[in-house]
Amino acid sequence: MDGGKKVILSIRGNQVNPEGEDNKIELITEGRLYKKGDAYYIEYEESIISGMEGTKTLIMVEDRRISLERTGAHESRFVFEKGRKYVNYYETPFGNLEMGIFPTRIDSDMDDSQGKLGVKYELDISGKYAGSNELMVSYQENGPQGLFKS
């Protein structure tokens, strides 16, 4: 599976702001699945739906950790490790922004042809609670075996 294989991805996100209002997005897209060592990698292009057109997202799933890296128009990196807070710094036109992520749930059940992963985390921006988010990604191999040769 070194060159990766095409998969159909279903990506669901839900953001709950501090006032308790939900903002849900759902995206069905084609992506690629790779495996290196014990880690799975999922790569896909963001779209207008997610508000991040021109951005490529790479999700790396290890035993106890899920990392998400975006490159292109909207660059960011998140590391989800249960029980550990991850802090990232962003430069904005209004000064530096500190974003903290504290995962409350991390699950993954993946193999070479289908799988799913989910993270639920609390977010704070510059130390102030900014809501809780959930990201769920599931995938399945694209069509009958052998239809897409990588």
pLDDT in tens, 12-30: 999 999 999 999 999 899 9
| Residues linked to residue 11 through DSSP beta bridges, in sequence order | 27, 137
Count CB-CB contacts under 10 A for residue 108.
Answer: 18
Q: How far apart, in whole angstroms, are the C-alpha atoms of residue 1 and residue 135?
A: 25
Question: 48: which 2 tokens?
Answer: 């207008």
Q: Where are the domains of the chain?
A: 5-81+106-121+131-141
Q: Residue 82 CA to chain centroid, in angstroms?
A: 15
Does residue 1 have a pLDDT over 70? Answer: no
Per-state percent for the chain, helix, strand, coil, to nearest 5: 0, 70, 30
Contact 55, 45 (CB under 8 A): yes
Which class is 5-81+106-121+131-141 in CATH?
mainly beta
Q: What kind and span of H or E run contains 115?
A: strand 114-125
Most confident range, picked from 6-10, 75-79, 144-148 = 6-10
- pLDDT band with cut points at 50, 70 and 90 for residue 117: very high
